[in-house]
Amino acid sequence: MLSSTREFATNALPPTQQRRARSRFARWLRQVSPSGWTGGVLLAALCLVAVAGPAVTGNPLAMNVPARLQPPSPQHLMGTDEFGRDILTRVVHGARISLGAGVGVVVVGLGIGLLFGLVAAYRGGAFALAAMSFVDIMLALPGVLLAIVIAALLSPRLGTAIVAVGIVTIPYYARLVWGVTQTVRLREYVEAARAAGASDFRILGRHLLPGVLPPALVQATLGVGNGILSVSALSFLGVGAQPPTPEWGLMLSQAQRFILVAPYLGIFPGLGIMLAVLSFNLIGDSMHDLVDPVLAASVRR
Protein backbone atom coordinates (compact mmCIF):
# COMPACT_ATOMS: atom_id res chain seq x y z
CA MET A 1 0.00 0.00 0.00
CA LEU A 2 1.41 3.34 -1.01
CA SER A 3 0.02 5.25 1.87
CA SER A 4 2.26 3.26 4.16
CA THR A 5 5.44 3.86 2.17
CA ARG A 6 4.79 7.54 2.38
CA GLU A 7 4.35 7.19 6.09
CA PHE A 8 7.67 5.45 6.39
CA ALA A 9 9.35 8.35 4.60
CA THR A 10 7.88 10.98 6.91
CA ASN A 11 8.79 8.88 9.92
CA ALA A 12 12.50 9.32 9.31
CA LEU A 13 13.23 11.47 12.36
CA PRO A 14 15.83 14.25 12.49
CA PRO A 15 19.10 13.17 14.22
CA THR A 16 18.45 14.94 17.53
CA GLN A 17 15.11 13.27 17.96
CA GLN A 18 16.55 10.00 16.83
CA ARG A 19 19.00 10.03 19.71
CA ARG A 20 16.13 10.65 22.04
CA ALA A 21 14.33 7.56 20.83
CA ARG A 22 16.45 5.32 22.94
CA SER A 23 15.39 1.83 22.13
CA ARG A 24 14.06 0.08 19.09
CA PHE A 25 10.82 -0.34 20.99
CA ALA A 26 10.40 3.41 21.37
CA ARG A 27 11.01 3.90 17.65
CA TRP A 28 8.53 1.20 16.90
CA LEU A 29 5.94 2.85 19.11
CA ARG A 30 6.31 6.08 17.15
CA GLN A 31 5.42 4.30 13.95
CA VAL A 32 2.11 3.03 15.29
CA SER A 33 -0.64 4.98 13.59
CA PRO A 34 -3.46 6.74 15.47
CA SER A 35 -5.86 4.02 14.35
CA GLY A 36 -3.49 1.45 15.82
CA TRP A 37 -3.55 3.31 19.14
CA THR A 38 -7.34 3.51 19.04
CA GLY A 39 -7.53 -0.22 18.47
CA GLY A 40 -5.04 -0.88 21.25
CA VAL A 41 -6.92 1.21 23.78
CA LEU A 42 -10.22 -0.38 22.74
CA LEU A 43 -8.75 -3.85 23.11
CA ALA A 44 -7.18 -3.04 26.48
CA ALA A 45 -10.57 -1.87 27.72
CA LEU A 46 -12.24 -5.03 26.46
CA CYS A 47 -9.57 -7.20 28.08
CA LEU A 48 -10.08 -5.38 31.36
CA VAL A 49 -13.83 -6.03 31.15
CA ALA A 50 -13.19 -9.68 30.26
CA VAL A 51 -10.74 -10.24 33.11
CA ALA A 52 -12.15 -8.13 35.93
CA GLY A 53 -15.76 -7.58 34.83
CA PRO A 54 -17.32 -10.94 35.72
CA ALA A 55 -16.11 -10.63 39.34
CA VAL A 56 -17.84 -7.24 39.63
CA THR A 57 -21.15 -7.94 37.92
CA GLY A 58 -22.02 -11.32 39.43
CA ASN A 59 -23.89 -14.33 38.08
CA PRO A 60 -24.98 -14.05 34.43
CA LEU A 61 -27.47 -16.89 34.87
CA ALA A 62 -29.34 -15.43 37.87
CA MET A 63 -32.97 -15.23 36.87
CA ASN A 64 -35.56 -12.85 38.22
CA VAL A 65 -38.69 -13.65 36.29
CA PRO A 66 -40.92 -10.84 37.67
CA ALA A 67 -38.38 -8.33 36.32
CA ARG A 68 -38.27 -9.82 32.80
CA LEU A 69 -37.97 -7.84 29.57
CA GLN A 70 -37.34 -4.52 31.29
CA PRO A 71 -35.97 -1.66 29.22
CA PRO A 72 -32.66 -0.08 30.33
CA SER A 73 -32.99 1.58 33.76
CA PRO A 74 -30.69 2.62 36.65
CA GLN A 75 -31.02 -0.89 38.18
CA HIS A 76 -30.42 -2.67 34.89
CA LEU A 77 -28.32 -0.37 32.69
CA MET A 78 -28.91 -2.50 29.60
CA GLY A 79 -32.28 -3.90 30.63
CA THR A 80 -33.25 -7.50 31.34
CA ASP A 81 -34.03 -10.46 29.08
CA GLU A 82 -36.99 -12.82 28.94
CA PHE A 83 -35.93 -14.56 32.19
CA GLY A 84 -35.18 -11.31 33.99
CA ARG A 85 -31.42 -11.83 33.67
CA ASP A 86 -29.40 -8.62 33.71
CA ILE A 87 -28.12 -7.93 30.18
CA LEU A 88 -25.10 -5.92 31.37
CA THR A 89 -23.91 -8.89 33.43
CA ARG A 90 -24.35 -11.20 30.48
CA VAL A 91 -22.61 -8.85 28.04
CA VAL A 92 -19.65 -8.53 30.42
CA HIS A 93 -19.36 -12.31 30.68
CA GLY A 94 -19.73 -12.51 26.92
CA ALA A 95 -16.56 -10.44 26.50
CA ARG A 96 -14.54 -13.18 28.17
CA ILE A 97 -16.18 -15.88 26.05
CA SER A 98 -15.78 -14.07 22.74
CA LEU A 99 -12.18 -12.94 23.26
CA GLY A 100 -11.35 -16.48 24.30
CA ALA A 101 -13.16 -17.86 21.26
CA GLY A 102 -11.27 -15.54 18.91
CA VAL A 103 -7.92 -16.54 20.38
CA GLY A 104 -8.94 -20.21 20.30
CA VAL A 105 -9.77 -20.00 16.60
CA VAL A 106 -6.35 -18.51 15.86
CA VAL A 107 -4.54 -21.10 18.00
CA VAL A 108 -6.13 -23.88 15.93
CA GLY A 109 -5.79 -22.16 12.56
CA LEU A 110 -2.36 -20.60 12.97
CA GLY A 111 -0.93 -23.57 14.84
CA ILE A 112 -1.80 -26.14 12.22
CA GLY A 113 -1.53 -23.81 9.22
CA LEU A 114 1.93 -22.59 10.23
CA LEU A 115 3.19 -26.14 10.64
CA PHE A 116 1.69 -27.27 7.34
CA GLY A 117 2.96 -24.28 5.38
CA LEU A 118 6.47 -24.38 6.85
CA VAL A 119 7.02 -28.07 6.38
CA ALA A 120 5.39 -28.14 2.94
CA ALA A 121 7.57 -25.30 1.66
CA TYR A 122 10.74 -26.65 3.27
CA ARG A 123 10.38 -30.29 2.31
CA GLY A 124 8.75 -29.82 -1.08
CA GLY A 125 8.04 -32.96 -3.07
CA ALA A 126 4.97 -35.13 -2.82
CA PHE A 127 4.05 -33.98 0.68
CA ALA A 128 4.00 -30.35 -0.41
CA LEU A 129 1.95 -31.19 -3.47
CA ALA A 130 -0.60 -33.10 -1.40
CA ALA A 131 -0.73 -30.52 1.39
CA MET A 132 -1.05 -27.51 -0.88
CA SER A 133 -3.63 -29.21 -3.13
CA PHE A 134 -5.66 -29.85 -0.02
CA VAL A 135 -5.27 -26.20 0.94
CA ASP A 136 -6.48 -25.13 -2.51
CA ILE A 137 -9.52 -27.33 -2.20
CA MET A 138 -10.36 -25.94 1.22
CA LEU A 139 -10.01 -22.43 -0.19
CA ALA A 140 -12.44 -23.35 -2.97
CA LEU A 141 -15.26 -23.65 -0.45
CA PRO A 142 -17.21 -20.86 1.21
CA GLY A 143 -15.61 -20.89 4.66
CA VAL A 144 -18.56 -19.85 6.81
CA LEU A 145 -20.76 -22.53 5.30
CA LEU A 146 -18.10 -25.19 5.83
CA ALA A 147 -17.66 -24.14 9.45
CA ILE A 148 -21.41 -24.29 10.00
CA VAL A 149 -21.61 -27.82 8.59
CA ILE A 150 -18.58 -29.05 10.56
CA ALA A 151 -19.88 -27.55 13.81
CA ALA A 152 -23.35 -28.99 13.25
CA LEU A 153 -21.95 -32.45 12.55
CA LEU A 154 -19.65 -32.38 15.59
CA SER A 155 -22.54 -31.77 17.98
CA PRO A 156 -23.14 -28.05 18.50
CA ARG A 157 -21.21 -26.61 21.41
CA LEU A 158 -19.06 -23.52 21.85
CA GLY A 159 -15.90 -25.64 21.76
CA THR A 160 -16.78 -27.35 18.51
CA ALA A 161 -17.71 -24.04 16.92
CA ILE A 162 -14.26 -22.69 17.80
CA VAL A 163 -12.58 -25.79 16.38
CA ALA A 164 -14.75 -25.70 13.25
CA VAL A 165 -13.94 -22.05 12.50
CA GLY A 166 -10.28 -22.76 13.31
CA ILE A 167 -10.16 -25.66 10.85
CA VAL A 168 -11.67 -23.52 8.12
CA THR A 169 -8.98 -20.85 8.60
CA ILE A 170 -6.06 -23.31 8.42
CA PRO A 171 -5.64 -22.98 4.63
CA TYR A 172 -5.31 -19.18 4.81
CA TYR A 173 -2.36 -19.44 7.20
CA ALA A 174 -0.87 -22.42 5.38
CA ARG A 175 -1.01 -20.57 2.05
CA LEU A 176 0.55 -17.42 3.49
CA VAL A 177 3.32 -19.23 5.37
CA TRP A 178 4.01 -21.44 2.38
CA GLY A 179 4.43 -18.42 0.11
CA VAL A 180 6.72 -16.56 2.49
CA THR A 181 8.82 -19.64 3.27
CA GLN A 182 9.27 -20.31 -0.45
CA THR A 183 10.97 -16.95 -0.87
CA VAL A 184 13.01 -17.21 2.33
CA ARG A 185 14.27 -20.76 2.07
CA LEU A 186 16.47 -20.08 -0.97
CA ARG A 187 18.33 -17.17 0.65
CA GLU A 188 22.05 -17.54 1.19
CA TYR A 189 21.86 -17.54 4.98
CA VAL A 190 19.70 -20.65 4.94
CA GLU A 191 22.17 -22.35 2.66
CA ALA A 192 25.00 -21.20 4.92
CA ALA A 193 23.22 -22.65 7.94
CA ARG A 194 22.84 -25.95 6.16
CA ALA A 195 26.49 -25.91 5.07
CA ALA A 196 27.43 -25.30 8.70
CA GLY A 197 25.65 -28.52 9.55
CA ALA A 198 22.45 -27.22 11.12
CA SER A 199 19.66 -29.75 11.47
CA ASP A 200 16.37 -29.36 9.59
CA PHE A 201 14.67 -28.62 12.86
CA ARG A 202 17.15 -25.86 13.67
CA ILE A 203 16.89 -24.32 10.21
CA LEU A 204 13.10 -24.30 10.42
CA GLY A 205 12.98 -22.88 13.92
CA ARG A 206 15.91 -20.47 13.93
CA HIS A 207 16.19 -19.33 10.33
CA LEU A 208 12.85 -19.71 8.56
CA LEU A 209 10.35 -19.08 11.35
CA PRO A 210 11.55 -15.54 12.17
CA GLY A 211 11.00 -14.51 8.56
CA VAL A 212 7.55 -16.04 8.47
CA LEU A 213 6.31 -14.84 11.83
CA PRO A 214 5.66 -11.11 11.20
CA PRO A 215 3.18 -11.53 8.32
CA ALA A 216 1.67 -14.56 10.06
CA LEU A 217 1.12 -12.51 13.21
CA VAL A 218 -0.58 -9.74 11.24
CA GLN A 219 -2.84 -12.35 9.71
CA ALA A 220 -3.42 -13.83 13.17
CA THR A 221 -4.44 -10.45 14.63
CA LEU A 222 -7.01 -9.97 11.91
CA GLY A 223 -7.86 -13.64 12.44
CA VAL A 224 -8.84 -13.11 16.07
CA GLY A 225 -11.37 -10.50 14.94
CA ASN A 226 -12.74 -12.67 12.17
CA GLY A 227 -12.80 -15.63 14.57
CA ILE A 228 -14.95 -13.69 17.03
CA LEU A 229 -17.24 -12.74 14.15
CA SER A 230 -17.56 -16.30 12.82
CA VAL A 231 -17.99 -18.04 16.18
CA SER A 232 -20.71 -15.59 17.17
CA ALA A 233 -22.36 -16.16 13.78
CA LEU A 234 -22.34 -19.92 14.40
CA SER A 235 -23.83 -19.38 17.85
CA PHE A 236 -26.45 -17.12 16.31
CA LEU A 237 -27.38 -19.91 13.89
CA GLY A 238 -27.66 -22.41 16.75
CA VAL A 239 -24.56 -24.50 15.98
CA GLY A 240 -22.27 -22.82 18.52
CA ALA A 241 -22.75 -21.92 22.17
CA GLN A 242 -25.96 -23.30 23.66
CA PRO A 243 -28.30 -21.63 26.15
CA PRO A 244 -27.94 -20.41 28.81
CA THR A 245 -24.33 -19.46 27.92
CA PRO A 246 -24.03 -15.64 27.83
CA GLU A 247 -22.44 -15.71 24.35
CA TRP A 248 -23.02 -12.56 22.29
CA GLY A 249 -24.18 -14.26 19.09
CA LEU A 250 -26.52 -16.57 20.99
CA MET A 251 -27.92 -13.63 22.99
CA LEU A 252 -28.70 -11.90 19.70
CA SER A 253 -30.53 -14.89 18.29
CA GLN A 254 -32.63 -15.09 21.46
CA ALA A 255 -33.20 -11.35 21.34
CA GLN A 256 -34.55 -11.60 17.81
CA ARG A 257 -37.58 -13.50 19.10
CA PHE A 258 -38.53 -10.49 21.22
CA ILE A 259 -37.78 -7.92 18.56
CA LEU A 260 -41.29 -6.49 18.64
CA VAL A 261 -41.66 -6.20 22.43
CA ALA A 262 -38.06 -5.55 23.51
CA PRO A 263 -35.95 -4.28 20.61
CA TYR A 264 -33.20 -3.02 22.97
CA LEU A 265 -32.28 -6.63 23.82
CA GLY A 266 -30.26 -6.98 20.65
CA ILE A 267 -28.31 -3.73 20.77
CA PHE A 268 -25.58 -4.41 23.32
CA PRO A 269 -24.43 -7.95 22.49
CA GLY A 270 -24.01 -6.90 18.84
CA LEU A 271 -22.22 -3.73 19.85
CA GLY A 272 -19.85 -5.89 21.88
CA ILE A 273 -19.04 -8.10 18.90
CA MET A 274 -18.52 -5.10 16.65
CA LEU A 275 -16.19 -3.26 19.05
CA ALA A 276 -14.13 -6.40 19.70
CA VAL A 277 -13.75 -7.16 15.98
CA LEU A 278 -13.09 -3.51 15.19
CA SER A 279 -10.28 -3.31 17.75
CA PHE A 280 -8.49 -6.28 16.19
CA ASN A 281 -8.99 -4.91 12.68
CA LEU A 282 -7.59 -1.51 13.71
CA ILE A 283 -4.54 -3.13 15.29
CA GLY A 284 -4.08 -5.55 12.41
CA ASP A 285 -4.27 -2.75 9.86
CA SER A 286 -1.62 -0.65 11.53
CA MET A 287 0.57 -3.72 12.11
CA HIS A 288 0.34 -4.54 8.45
CA ASP A 289 1.57 -1.08 7.59
CA LEU A 290 4.57 -1.69 9.82
CA VAL A 291 5.48 -5.10 8.46
CA ASP A 292 6.78 -5.38 4.91
CA PRO A 293 4.33 -3.35 2.82
CA VAL A 294 4.81 -5.64 -0.20
CA LEU A 295 3.64 -8.62 1.78
CA ALA A 296 0.68 -6.63 2.97
CA ALA A 297 -1.08 -7.21 -0.32
CA SER A 298 -1.12 -10.96 0.24
CA VAL A 299 -2.22 -10.67 3.84
CA ARG A 300 -5.31 -8.61 3.11
CA ARG A 301 -7.80 -10.46 1.04
Query: Which chain residues interact with other proteins by CB under 8 A?
Result: 1-3, 35, 133-134, 136-137, 140-146, 148-150, 152-154, 225, 229, 232-233, 236-239, 249, 252-253, 255-256, 259-260, 263, 266-267, 269-271, 273-274, 277-278, 281-282, 285, 300-301
Cβ proximity to other proteins: between 114 and 277 the closer is 277
Query: In whole angstroms, how close is the CB of 152 to other proteins at the nearest point?
Result: 4
Cβ proximity to other proteins: between 149 and 198 the closer is 149
Query: In whole angstroms, how close is the CB of 13 to other proteins at the nearest point?
Result: 20
Cβ proximity to other proteins: between 78 and 190 the closer is 78
Query: In whole angstroms, how close is the CB of 237 to other proteins at the nearest point?
Result: 6
Query: In whole angstroms, how close is the CB of 39 to other proteins at the nearest point?
Result: 9
* C-alpha to C-alpha distance for 79 and 262, rounded to whole angstroms: 9
Cβ proximity to other proteins: between 10 and 16 the closer is 10
Cβ proximity to other proteins: between 216 and 276 the closer is 276
Query: In whole angstroms, how close is the CB of 154 to other proteins at the nearest point?
Result: 8
Per residue, the 3-state secondary structure of the chain, as one string, reads CHHHHHHHHHCCCCHHHHHHCCCHHHHHHHHCCHHHHHHHHHHHHHHHHHHHHHHHHCCCCCCCHHHCCCCCCCCCCCCECCCCCEHHHHHHHHHHHHHHHHHHHHHHHHHHHHHHHHHHHHHCHHHHHHHHHHHHHHHCCCHHHHHHHHHHHCCCCHHHHHHHHHHHHHHHHHHHHHHHHHHHCCCHHHHHHHHCCCCHHHHHHHHHHHHHHHHHHHHHHHHHHHHHHHHHHHHHHCCCCCCCCCCHHHHHHHHHCCCCCCHHHHHHHHHHHHHHHHHHHHHHHHHHHHCCHHHHHHHCC
Cβ proximity to other proteins: between 167 and 208 the closer is 167
* C-alpha to C-alpha distance for 51 and 47, rounded to whole angstroms: 6
Query: In whole angstroms, how close is the CB of 110 to other proteins at the nearest point?
Result: 20
Cβ proximity to other proteins: between 118 and 234 the closer is 234
Query: In whole angstroms, how close is the CB of 188 to other proteins at the nearest point?
Result: 31
